[in-house]
Homo-oligomer: A and B are copies of this chain.
Amino acid sequence: MGKILLKSVLMQNAGESPARKDVLIDGNVFSKIVDTSTPEMADGTEIIDCKNFALVPAFYNGHTHAAMSLLRGYADDMDLSKWLNEYIWPFEAKLTDRDIEIGSRLAVLEMIKSGTVFFSDMYWHREQTMKVVEEMGIRASIGVTISDVLVSPEGLKANFDFLARHTGESERVKLAVMPHSIYIVSEEYLRRSMEMAEKENYPLHIHLSETEKEIRDCLEQHGCTPVEYLQRLGCLNSRVQAAHCVHFSEKDMEIFAQSGASAILNPNSNLKLSSGIPSIVKMMDRRIPLGLGTDGDSSNNNLDMHEEMKLAALLAKVQGGADVLPASEALKMASVNVAQVNGINAGIIAEGKLADGILVRLDNERMVPCFDLVGNWVYSADSRAIDSVLCNGRFVMRGGHVDGEEDIVREAGECALRLAENK
């Protein structure tokens, strides 16, 4: 892989001042970041004039269901239980390996177009999604989904074998143990999930305290909240990534904070499905590690981390004051925080870090005037300001274009239509 020099780019990390730099990418890392006085190089380095671009951290999507892109708009504006039982689950039951491949490709395209280079995925037919991620050049933590309600005993055994062998893991694609939730995973399988995560050093990723119903049912069944229940089972520690975390009691927050687990918030989905508004400020006050995710296309209805970032900042402000969760902190929640909990040495533009990033057009009308580059990026821009996206030292989007995107979109449209007609 050749070297790339981002010449005279306006580098912007969260919490730092922007600075014009020459950024050299060698292999898959930022190898050198210097003042813009680099002499011309004659060693075959590709030199890109970046006067017109800011280089900002890429997005890391902490929680999604990628292939549900095929269900975008299939069932909107209805409550969660009707949505799942009458629409989503019957549709999903029809999905083949090939459909999942097509849906994953649409999702990865959508993420790249909006600046995301990593996603943590909880879904089915995982090998198709892994293949697509490998091909399209980004990163993922692919969940092996555990549920003894939805998966047969043979399926569960195969899942644990898959994890024990670290099947298909690579530089960019990792696995994670993903017991779906406390309501469709038994005590036994929650414990076995944690044992596997501990033994093989995987993250444990779970839906947690998403709806009031989940809390009510748990209180009825186990006499405690979902957070207390996980703690009681020994399933709450620093390798846990809990998605949603909308309905935490004060005591839940104390327990969660002490455990070192991370909360992955999905504000668009939580509002849209009327699940509730997460207590962002209270969680921040207790120093709970916070990241953001989009949830799936059928509940959001997109995979745009920029929207999550802005909405998280806005909700925090209306909860705690206009000065709470400033732009730079919101950017961290959408980037480095998620990278960190997934063990990815990225999310900051710095020498030695993996070369992931977004080139943002400084002449986009929403990036002007440039009093506050991070503020413009977080509060004003949308994905139209993104020119190019780097992952692992190579361009996965360049000049607004992703290789093969027209085919990906066409195929996904045809596939979804076929599935819908086939009901």
Contacts and interface: CB of A to CB of B under 8 A. Distances in A.
A368 B413 contact: yes
Contacts of A406: 363
Interface in A248-270: 268, 270
A327 interface: yes
A317 B274 contact: yes
Contacts of A364: 409
Nearest to A381: B302
Interface in A358-378: 363-366, 368-372, 375-376
Given A317-B272, A382-B384, A368 B412 contact: yes
Nearest to A400: B384
A48 interface: no
Contact of A322 (B273, B370, B383, B384): B273
A324 B78 CA distance: 8
Interface stretch (A21-29, A66-74, A197-205): A66-74
Interface string A63-89: 000000010111011111001000000
Nearest to A277: B318
Contacts of A416: 368-369, 371
B301 A76 contact: no
Contact of A368 (B72, B83, B271): B72
Contacts of A189: none
B409 A271 contact: no
Interface residues of A, number: 71
Interface string A402-418: 00011011101101110
Nearest to A304: B382
A326 interface: yes
B321 A370 contact: no
Interface in A143-186: none
Contacts of A113: 365, 384
Interface string A267-298: 01011111111000000000000000000010
Given A383-B382, A413-B370, A375 B322 contact: no
Nearest to A369: B416
A395 interface: no
A106 interface: yes
* Best-surrounded residue of A74, A313, A368, A379 (most CB of chain B within 10 A): A368
A271 to B, nearest CB: 4
B272 A375 contact: no
Contacts of A327: 76-77
A210 interface: no
A338 interface: no
Nearest to A361: B409
Nearest to A246: B318
A365 B76 contact: no
Given A297-B380, A379-B272, A382-B384, A365 B409 contact: yes
A244 B317 CA distance: 17
A410 B369 CA distance: 9
Interface in A35-56: none
A271 B363 contact: no
B369 A413 contact: yes
Contact of A383 (B297, B302, B323, B384): B384
A108 to B, nearest CB: 10
A65 B381 CA distance: 18
Contact of A409 (B302, B304, B368): B368
A301 to B, nearest CB: 4
A315 interface: yes
- 8 A-B pairs with least C-beta separation: A369-B416, A73-B372, A271-B314, A301-B379, A77-B326, A73-B375, A301-B380, A274-B322
